[in-house]
Structure 1
Amino acid sequence: MAPPNSILVIGVALLLTAALTEQTFVNFSYVGVKGPEKWGSLSPYYSTCSKGKSQSPINIVKKDVVYDSKLQPFLRNYTATNVTLINNGFNIGISCGSAVGYANIDGMKYTLKQMHWHSPSEHTINGERFAAELHLVHIASDGSISVVAILFKIGNPDPLLNQMKESLNQLTKETCSGDQEAHVAVSRMKLKRLNKKTRKYFRYVGSLTIPPCYENVTWTVLGKVRDISDEQLKALKAPLDATFKNNSRPVQPLNGRRVQFYNELHSN
Structure 2
Amino acid sequence: MKKFKRLGMVGLLSVAVLAACSTDTTKEAQPAESAATEESLETEEVSAKDVKWTYEGETGTENWHTLHPEFAPCADGKEQSPVDIDLAKVKLDQTLEELQINYSPTQFTLQNNGHTFQLNDPTGSNTIVVEGEEYKLLQMHFHIPSENTINGEHFAMEGHLVHINEAGSLAVVGFMIEAGVENEILKEAWANMPTEKTPEDVELTNPIDLQNLLPANMKSFRFSGSLTTPPCSEGVSWIVLENPIQYSQEQIDAFAEIFPPHNSRETQPLHEREIHTHD
Distance 1:221 1:155 in 2: 20
Distance 1:149 1:165 in 2: 19
Distance 1:23 1:126 in 2: 38
Which AA in structure 1 matches 2:180?
Answer: G
Q: For the structure 1 residues 223 and 195, does the alpha-carbon distance in structure 2 shift closer, same or farther, using more than 3 Å as the test? A: closer
> Which residue does 1:38 correspond to in 2?
63
Q: Are the equivalent residues in 2 in contact too, given 1:112–1:138 (CA < 8 A)?
A: yes
Q: TM-score, normalised by structure 2?
A: 0.80
1:27 matches 2:52 = yes
Which AA in structure 1 matches 2:202?
Answer: V
> Which residue does 2:10 correspond to in 1?
none
1:144 matches 2:169 = yes
> Which residue does 1:4 correspond to in 2?
none
Aligned ranges 1:1-268 → 2 under 5 Å: 10-11=23-24, 13-14=26-27, 23-24=47-48, 25-168=50-193, 171-172=194-195, 175-176=196-197, 181=199, 183-187=201-205, 188-194=207-213, 197-240=216-259, 242=260, 245-263=261-279
Q: For the structure 1 residues 106 and 117, does the alpha-carbon distance in structure 2 shift closer, same or farther, using more than 3 Å as the test? A: same
Once the 2 structures are TM-superposed, how far is the Cα of residue 182 of structure 1 from its aligned partner?
5.5
Q: For the structure 1 residues 146 and 225, does the alpha-carbon distance in structure 2 shift closer, same or farther, using more than 3 Å as the test? A: same
SS at match of 1:94: strand
Gaps of 5+ in 1: 1-6, 16-20, 264-268
Q: Are the equivalent residues in 2 in contact too, given 1:88–1:182 (CA < 8 A)?
A: no
Q: Are the equivalent residues in 2 in contact too, given 1:80–1:100 (CA < 8 A)?
A: no
Gaps of 5+ in 2: 1-19, 29-44
> Which residue does 1:18 correspond to in 2?
none
Which AA in structure 1 matches 2:269?
Answer: P
Which AA in structure 1 matches 2:108?
Answer: V
SS at match of 1:133: strand
Q: Are the equivalent residues in 2 in contact too, given 1:89–1:181 (CA < 8 A)?
A: no
Once the 2 structures are TM-superposed, how far is the Cα of residue 229 of structure 1 from its aligned partner?
1.1
Q: TM-score, normalised by structure 1?
A: 0.83
Q: Are the equivalent residues in 2 in contact too, given 1:87–1:239 (CA < 8 A)?
A: no
Distance 1:95 1:64 in 2: 35
Q: Are the equivalent residues in 1 in contact too, given 2:100–2:130 (CA < 8 A)?
A: yes
SS at match of 1:189: coil
Cα deviation digits, residues 118-177 of structure 1 (max 9, x gap): 000000000011100000000011111000000111111223322324322xx23xx54x
Q: For the structure 1 residues 195 and 92, does the alpha-carbon distance in structure 2 shift closer, same or farther, using more than 3 Å as the test? A: closer
Cα deviation digits, residues 70-116 of structure 1 (max 9, x gap): 10111101111221111010111111122441011111111000110
Once the 2 structures are TM-superposed, how far is the Cα of residue 195 of structure 1 from its aligned partner?
6.1
Once the 2 structures are TM-superposed, how far is the Cα of residue 191 of structure 1 from its aligned partner?
2.1
Kindly tell me the number of residue pairs found equivalent between the two proteins.
241
Once the 2 structures are TM-superposed, how far is the Cα of residue 207 of structure 1 from its aligned partner?
0.2
Distance 2:98 2:229 in 1: 28
Instruction: Name the one with the larger strand percent.
Output: 1
SS at match of 2:66: helix
Taking every aligned residue pair, what percent have the same amino acid on both sides? 35
Q: Are the equivalent residues in 1 in contact too, given 2:26–2:164 (CA < 8 A)?
A: no
SS at match of 2:24: helix
Cα deviation digits, residues 196-247 of structure 1 (max 9, x gap): 554411000000000000001000000102211111112223334x4xx400
Which AA in structure 2 matches 1:23?
Answer: S
Once the 2 structures are TM-superposed, how far is the Cα of residue 37 of structure 1 from its aligned partner?
0.7
Q: Are the equivalent residues in 2 in contact too, given 1:74–1:198 (CA < 8 A)?
A: no
Distance 1:216 1:227 in 2: 30
Once the 2 structures are TM-superposed, how far is the Cα of residue 22 of structure 1 from its aligned partner?
6.4
SS at match of 1:249: coil
